[in-house]
């Protein structure tokens, strides 16, 4: 009997046409993330998600099907996403339909490690995902979604490195394919681009804060200044004070 390599209720994979966005060092960061995701809506119309962090309430998340404007413009929802640090993702899938996609497949994904939590939004495709998933399942990992992107969280959990950025580097050494990633810890915004630079990732400045985005159009909509493109193979780790 072959071990199952995907979630038994889903046959839906995230493809490269997704959008990622993150903000740090700005009050009500989630509102800026929502605007950024709206500008990136052409990269994914199926669903969207935002995770924020606030020192008093910790990590908070919201994931919804449909357009950003129909979900993340409601004050009742955005009030549940406080803090000066937030990331978001808009999802596009080429197989399956909305009716058989579960909310568990909507990013950002979250992992809790001994040194704290990490939320991760991934744009790209992992070409060795089947082999990684098989290995991780055989070693005891329990997958909660049908997304290949979840492999990164499980690989990070198995790393022996002492901090989250180094664990992410460890995990990505095992990953083959093209990707850009926007992630966050309790106090840092992280951006990573694949070694060949196939998937785009931009760095912007917003007042005293910083922004990561799949495209410059999302920087424009929030009034952020374009700083530079993240280099192929580069990881940037940004704290609240830069």
Question: Which sequence positions are flagged as catalytic?
Answer: 18
Helical H runs in the chain?
29-39, 68-71, 75-78, 129-138, 150-158, 164-173, 216-221
Nearest C-alpha neighbor of 136 from the set 171, 164, 104: 171
User: Contacts from 195-199 at CB under 8 Å and sequence distance 24+?
Assistant: 195/232, 195/233, 196/232, 197/231, 197/232, 197/233, 198/124, 199/16, 199/123, 199/124
Which distant-in-sequence residues (6+ apart) come within 8 Å of 85 by Cβ? Answer: 23, 24, 25, 29, 52, 53, 184, 186, 187, 189, 240
């Amino acid at each position: 009997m072959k071990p199952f390599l995907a979630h038994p209720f889903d046959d839906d994979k995230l493809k490269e046409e997704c959008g990622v966005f993150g903000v740090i060092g700005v009050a009500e960061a989630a509102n800026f993330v929502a605007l950024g995701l709206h500008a990136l809506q052409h990269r994914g119309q199926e669903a969207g998600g935002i995770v924020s962090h606030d020192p008093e309430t910790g990590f908070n998340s919201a994931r919804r099907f449909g357009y950003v404007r129909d979900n993340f413009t409601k004050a009742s929802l955005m009030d549940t996403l406080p803090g000066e640090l937030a990331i978001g993702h808009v999802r596009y899938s080429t197989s399956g339909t909305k009716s058989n996609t579960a909310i568990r497949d909507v990013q950002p994904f979250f992992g809790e490690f001994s040194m704290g939590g990490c939320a991760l939004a991934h744009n790209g495709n992992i070409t060795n995902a089947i082999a990684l998933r098989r290995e991780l399942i055989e070693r005891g990992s329990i997958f909660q979604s049908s997304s290949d992107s979840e492999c990164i969280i499980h690989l990070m959990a198995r790393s022996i490195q002492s901090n989250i950025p180094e664990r992410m580097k460890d995990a990505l050494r095992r990953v083959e394919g093209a990707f850009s990633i926007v992630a966050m810890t309790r106090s840092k915004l992280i951006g990573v681009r694949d070694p060949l630079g196939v998937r785009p990732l931009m760095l912007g400045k917003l007042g005293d804060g910083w922004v990561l985005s799949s495209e410059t159009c999302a920087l424009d909509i929030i009034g952020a200044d374009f700083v530079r493109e993240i280099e192929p193979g580069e990881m940037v780790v940004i704290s609240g004070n830069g």
